[in-house]
């Protein structure tokens, strides 16, 4: 019995180490999509105009404009600026459709093998279902990879959005009109994050996600 107990106890440090390594791997993967990992260049310079994580590099390469939330329902919000209209839809989180990994304390550590944004150890209640962008007469639906691990999308009421207003989306347009930045902040009051979806020449380019508020 003593030998069995010693063998069991010897596994504990390795289990904790493995847990720590998992968290570190998830955070490293998350950091790759953050503002700090953007290379110097046009995208970094333009996103710094509105991202709170790029505040120290803020410049005037993009002029602020007005984004209007034109409709807001329980699970759908539509907003626009000039010739650009964006609709974000959300859905209830169905845990049976996800692979959920918890740590030794019962906190949610990963969903589908990825770090999750929008909650801080708890189970999400809502998820982004789709993001649709209409530019002039062209319609673009962002791929699921653009929002797959983004949870608790925040919707605000019908209004004209002030630049930097928490919880409401904003659309930014580059001076040459080639790039569109769809920026929003989301949270369930914990695990807050901001996401920027980048559209270039009417095609989805990438996302920039930062958490840690």
The residue among 62 and 162 whose pLDDT is bigger is 62
In the structure encoding, which two tokens stand for residue 198, read together? Answer: 């980048």
Percent of the chain with pLDDT over 90: 68
- Per-residue pLDDT, 164: 74
Q: Where are the domains of the chain?
A: 32-211
Three-class DSSP category at 84: strand
Mean pLDDT, the chain, integer: 86
- To the nearest whole percent, how much of the chain has pLDDT over 70? 84
Q: Which two tokens stand for residue 111?
A: 């969903």
Total residue length of the chain: 213
| 161: confidence class by pLDDT, cuts 50, 70, 90 | very high
- Between CA 131 and CA 19 the distance in angstroms is 34
Whole-number Å distance between alpha carbons of 128 and 202: 21
């Amino acid at each position: 019995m003593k030998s069995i107990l010693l063998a069991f106890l010897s596994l504990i440090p390795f289990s904790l180490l493995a847990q720590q390594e998992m968290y570190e791997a998830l955070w490293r993967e998350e950091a790759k999509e953050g503002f700090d990992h953007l290379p110097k260049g046009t995208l970094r310079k333009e996103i710094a105009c509105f991202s709170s994580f790029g505040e120290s590099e803020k410049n005037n390469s993009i002029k602020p404009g007005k984004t209007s939330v034109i409709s807001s329902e329980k699970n759908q919000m539509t907003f626009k600026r000039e010739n650009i209209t964006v609709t974000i839809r959300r859905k209830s989180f169905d845990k049976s459709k996800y692979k959920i990994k918890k740590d030794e304390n019962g906190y949610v550590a990963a969903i589908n093998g990825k770090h999750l944004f929008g909650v801080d150890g708890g189970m999400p209640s809502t998820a982004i279902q789709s993001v649709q962008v209409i530019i002039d007469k062209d319609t673009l639906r962002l791929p699921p990879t653009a929002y797959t691990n983004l949870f608790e999308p925040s919707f605000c009421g019908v209004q004209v959005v002030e630049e930097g207003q928490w919880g409401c989306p904003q659309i930014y347009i580059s001076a040459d009109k080639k790039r569109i930045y769809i920026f929003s902040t989301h949270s369930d009051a914990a695990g807050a994050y901001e996401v920027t979806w980048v559209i270039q020449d009417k095609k989805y380019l990438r996302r920039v996600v930062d958490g840690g508020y």
